Amino acid sequence: MRETPSYRGSCFCGAVQFAVSGDPAAQGFCHCESCRSWSAAPVNAFTLWKPDAVHVTRGADRIDTYHKTPRSYRKWCKTCGGHLFTEHPGWKLIDVYAAAIPGFRFKPGVHVNYQETVLPMNDGLPKFKDVPAEMGGSGVTITEESRLVA
Ligand SMILES: [Zn+2]
Ligand SMILES: [Zn+2]
């Protein structure tokens, strides 16, 4: 039996520190407009964890939350503005941004909300138009060659 892996993360200034343990439920890239606008980046590299896998170890009082929709509670550090993670209550999962846990070996397995992409990534991974059916989406995938244009 291997030891449960644990990965440390922090905000930009270090006031907030956290750890995630175990293995993520899923990991990949989200191309949605909300992630783009929130992160100021063309895609969001996500890792999804069960809530009990994520522990804030320092600076919990420095965390603030914004939710534009009830699907995503986005968290950041009040001191530096650095992003931490997003809670998805409906899925009972927390998206810990892959870039916030540098010790974790990010291995993307899927692209979601690819119909909204501004940065096509022809990497051979499955690309969902929105999200997989088991997560409440259409489950429709988009081929890299014939990307749907809205
Ligand atoms: Zn900070
Ligand atoms: Zn997104």
- pLDDT, residue 64, reads 98
Residue 149 confidence (pLDDT) above 60: no
Could you say which ligand is closest to the alpha carbon of residue 63? 1
Phi/psi at 24 (5° precision):
-70, 155
Read off the pLDDT of residues 69-98 as tens digits, 9 standing for 90 and up. 999 999 999 999 999 999 999 999 999 999
Backbone angles phi, psi at 137, to 5 degrees: -95, -170
How many Å lie between the centroid of ligand 2 and the Cα of residue 3?
A: 32
pLDDT tens readout for residues 16-48: 999 999 999 999 999 999 999 999 999 999 999
Ligand nearest to the CA of 13: 1
Ion ligand 1: protein residues whose beta carbon lies under 5 Å: 11, 13, 15, 77, 79-80, 82
Q: Which one of the ligands is nearest to 81 CA?
A: 1
Token pair in block for residue 32: 């949605």
Q: What is the pLDDT of residues 63-77, one digit of tens each?
A: 999 999 999 999 999
